[in-house]
């Protein structure tokens, strides 16, 4: 984490080869791997890039803003002697930056002498604190059955045309420090928000900006925008710049930081494009073999460490191409992140918001953030029971579509009723509805009470005695 040496650095006139955003420069000596360069075209305009590969007397450079307008002879490349660093400061909250961290809101450069390497450094596993404090998002499908904890990375897997932006905005707006069910409401600790847009449309960025403004959060948000018409190569840096600021806020200023990254699919495409131009051996669907490690180098920049009270919680958004969850981007993301919230198209068609497909969604850390002394004692078993019952509903629906609803047994009929109510009352809630954890648990028990007691094998008999509200009088 040293400062950038902006002055000095050797300069080379002329490049050997230009191919897409990749330049091969000949003649530099002592070039460092991953070093930042300044590329000046024949008209004197400067753009930045970085070194991807160095050999004796040559260096392969990736120009962030692409190579448009560069010529073989008229291009000057200046090696800056350091890896890419960005300034970090508390006052960057409330500001808007481009994908490389330069202000684009008309304001001045952030006033700071702290510069940090955008690549960060891996957190030592022994220095981490395991996440245990839940975040109340006010959304039943998250708080109830896919609980988000501070220091967790939980992506939204969505598809084109689904309301993932609304859901992310709602999470950001409503997120507060979770408390035990029934505890009096306290002033929630407010999250600092770092928002990174990669290749999204201008109106998406605009939507988030408006949403932050309306909820009064704008002063707590730092936005890094690489929009659809910005250079794709810059996208490689955008999430890293955002996470670098997040790390500074969380681990040095001890804030709780919520990072929203959208859309990671566009990031993956930019990475594939560069890999392709470089002629690397592709693995699945043309993505480079190091896609997993590359994604991990960002997603793993989440969590809590022992030397700070702060935390970084990540909510990356991915639109799955063709809604395919086995596509390399959602697939590798799912292997790295601690669960996933999957949006379902059928629910969306049915007019249910948020259309969270409960069965494929998962929060891996949930088990450690809920239950006695955290939410409520019955929460873990209650959640498992809801899941199991809803899973059974799917089987019953499949059966009903073949033999007709009338032919179903009484118990199966009740499952159908449960399934409908679950989607309409538990999953469905309005964009402005902020449900407490008690309310979420209460709705869940009300739905479980549709089923006969005998079907509820995941919860204890005591819990049934305490919370079951149905008309099944057996014991």
Partner 1 sequence: MSEQVGTITWISGPVVRARGSRHVGMLELVEVGTERLVGEVIGLKGDQMTVQVYEETAGMQTGAPIFGTGLPLSVELGPGLIQSIYDGVQRPLPLIEEAVGSFINRGARFDSISREKKWKFTPKVKVGDEVKGGAVLGAVMETDTFEHRIMLNPDDSGTISWIAASGEYTVTDVIAKVKMGREEKSVTMLQRWPVRRARPFVSRRGANIPLITGQRILDTFFPVAKGGAAGIPGPFGSGKTVTQHSIAKWADAEIIVYIGCGERGNEMTEVLQEFPHLVDPRTGRPLMERTVLIANTSNMPVAAREASIYTGITIAEYYRDMGYHVALMADSTSRWAEALREVSGRLEEMPAEEGYPAYLAGRLAEFYERAGYVNNLNGTQGSVSIVGAVSPPGGDFSEPVTQHTKRFIRCFWALDKSLASARHFPAINWLDSYSEYLEDVAFWWREKTGKDWLSMRNRAMELLSEESRLSQIVKLVGPDALPYTERMVLETTRLIREGILQQNATESVDAFSSVEKQIRMLELVLYFHERGMAIVRRGAPINLIHDLPVVDTIIRAKSTVTNEEMHKFDDIQKQIDQQMGQLDAEYRS
Q: Which of residues 388-447 bind partner 1 (CB under 8 A)?
A: 388, 391-392, 398-399, 402-403, 407-409
Q: Which of 318, 362, 330 is nearest to 158 (CA)?
A: 318
Helix (H, G, I), strand (E, B) or coil at 278: coil
Is 418:447 a contact under the CB 8 Å cutoff? yes
Within positions 182 to 211, which residues make up the interface with partner 1, using CB under 8 A?
A: none
- Candidates 10, 94, 166, 292; binder of partner 1 (CB under 8 A) is 292
Q: What is the smallest separation between the CB atom of 301 and partner 1, expressed in angstroms?
A: 7
Give, for 297, the enclosing helix (H) or strand (E).
helix 291-299
Residue 33, helix vs strand vs coil: coil
Structure tokens at 153: 């990375």
How many residues touch partner 1 under the rule CB under 8 A: the total is: 84
Is the CB of residue 169 less than 8 Å from the CB of residue 354?
A: no
List binders of partner 1 among 102-141 (CB under 8 A). 119-131
Residues 105-128 as b/e (b if ≥16 CB within 10 A, e otherwise) read eeeeebeeeebbbbbbeebeeeee
Nearer to partner 1 (CB atom), residue 81 or residue 87: 81
Site string for partner 1, 347-386 (x = CB under 8 A): ------------xx-x-xx-xx-----------x---x--
Binding test (CB under 8 A) with partner 1, winner from 7, 186, 322, 326: 326
Q: Kindly tell me which residue out of 16, 38, 41, 53 binds partner 1, with binding defined by CB under 8 A.
A: 53
User: Cβ contacts of residue 111 below 8 Å, gap of 6+?
Assistant: 89, 91
By the rule CB under 8 A, 305 interacts with partner 1: yes
Binding to partner 1 (CB under 8 A) within 244-273 occurs at 251
| Shortest reach from residue 353's CB to partner 1, in Å | 22
Least distance in angstroms from the C-beta of 162 to partner 1: 20
Q: Pick from 438, 427, 402, 398: which is nearest to 415 by CA?
A: 398
For the CB of residue 210, give the shortest distance to partner 1 in the complex, in Å: 34
- Residue in 12, 22, 25, 35 binding partner 1, rule: CB under 8 A: 35
User: Among 86-94, 156-164, 205-213, 290-298, which window interacts with partner 1 (CB under 8 A)?
Assistant: 290-298
- Comparing C-alpha atoms, which of 258, 309, 297 is closest to residue 118? 297
Closest residue by Cα to residue 52 from 24, 16, 73, 74: 24
Residue (29 or 111) nearer to partner 1, CB: 29
What span, in angstroms and rounded, lies between the C-alpha atoms of 288 and 349?
35
d(CA 414, CA 412): 5
Q: What are the DSSP calls for 56-94, one per residue?
A: TTEEEEEETT--TT--TTT-EEEE-SS--EEE--GGGTT
User: Which residues, at least 6 apart from 299, have a Cβ–Cβ distance to it below 8 Å?
Assistant: 153, 314, 316, 333, 336, 337
Q: Give min distance, CB of 5 to partner 1, in A.
A: 12
Output the smallest distance, CB 380 to partner 1, in A. 7
Task: Judge if the upstream peptide bond of residue 354 is cis by omega within 30 degrees of 0.
Answer: yes
The residue range among 46-54, 68-76, 98-106, 193-201 that interacts with partner 1, by the rule CB under 8 A, is 46-54
Nearest distance, CB of residue 96 and partner 1, angstroms: 28
Whichever of 69 and 289 has its CB closer to partner 1, that residue is 289
Q: Whole-number minimum distance, CB 49 to partner 1, in Å?
A: 15
CB-nearer residue toward partner 1: 133 or 368: 368
The first and second tokens of residue 357, run together, are 């497909």
Pick the binder of partner 1 from 9, 282, 321, 470 (CB under 8 A): 282
Residue with Cβ nearer partner 1 (238 or 311)? 311
Least distance in Å: CB of 68 to partner 1? 26
């Amino acid at each position: 984490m040293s400062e950038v040496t902006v002055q000095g650095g050797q300069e080379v006139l002329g490049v050997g080869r230009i191919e897409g955003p990749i330049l091969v420069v000949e003649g530099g000596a002592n070039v460092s791997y991953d070093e930042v360069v300044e590329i000046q075209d024949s008209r004197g305009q400067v753009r930045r890039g970085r070194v991807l590969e160095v050999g004796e007397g040559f260096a392969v450079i990736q120009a962030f803003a692409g190579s448009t307008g560069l010529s073989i002879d008229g291009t000057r490349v200046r090696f800056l002697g350091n890896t890419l660093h960005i300034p970090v400061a508390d006052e960057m909250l409330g500001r808007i930056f481009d994908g490389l961290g330069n202000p684009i809101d008309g304001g001045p450069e952030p006033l700071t002498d702290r510069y940090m390497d955008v690549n960060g450094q891996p957190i030592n596993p022994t220095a981490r604190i395991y996440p245990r404090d839940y975040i109340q998002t006010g959304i039943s499908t998250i708080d109830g059955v896919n609980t988000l904890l501070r220091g967790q990375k939980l992506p939204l897997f969505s598809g084109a045309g689904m309301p993932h932006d609304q859901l992310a905005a709602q999470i950001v707006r409503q997120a507060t420090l979770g408390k035990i069910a029934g505890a009096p409401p306290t002033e929630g600790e407010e999250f600092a928000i770092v928002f990174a847009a990669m290749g999204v449309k201008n109106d998406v960025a605009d939507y988030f900006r408006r949403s932050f403004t309306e909820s009064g959060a704008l002063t707590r948000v730092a936005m890094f925008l690489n929009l659809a018409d910005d250079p794709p190569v810059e996208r490689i840096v955008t999430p890293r710049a955002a996470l670098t600021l997040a790390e500074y806020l969380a681990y040095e200023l001890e804030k709780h930081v919520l990072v929203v990254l959208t859309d990671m699919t566009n990031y993956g495409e930019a990475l594939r494009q560069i890999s392709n131009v470089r002629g690397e051996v592709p693995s699945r669907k043309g993505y480079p073999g190091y896609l997993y490690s590359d994604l991990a180098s960002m997603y793993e920049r989440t969590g809590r460490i022992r030397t700070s009270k702060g935390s970084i919680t990540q909510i990356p958004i991915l639109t799955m191409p063709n809604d395919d969850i086995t596509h390399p981007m959602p697939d590798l993301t799912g292997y790295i992140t601690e669960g996933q919230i999957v949006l379902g198209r059928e629910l969306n068609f049915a007019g249910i918001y948020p259309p969270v497909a409960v069965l494929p969604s998962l929060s891996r850390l949930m088990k450690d953030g809920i239950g006695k002394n955290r939410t409520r004692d019955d929460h873990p078993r209650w959640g498992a029971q809801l899941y199991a019952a809803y899973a059974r509903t799917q089987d019953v629906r499949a059966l009903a579509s073949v033999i007709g609803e009338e032919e179903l047994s009484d118990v199966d009929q009740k499952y159908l009723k449960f399934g409908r109510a679950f989607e309409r009352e538990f999953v469905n809630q309005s964009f402005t509805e902020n449900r407490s954890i008690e309310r979420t648990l209460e709705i869940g028990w009300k739905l479980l009470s549709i089923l006969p007691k005998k079907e509820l094998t995941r919860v204890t008999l005591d819990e049934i005695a305490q919370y079951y509200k149905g008309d099944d009088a057996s014991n």
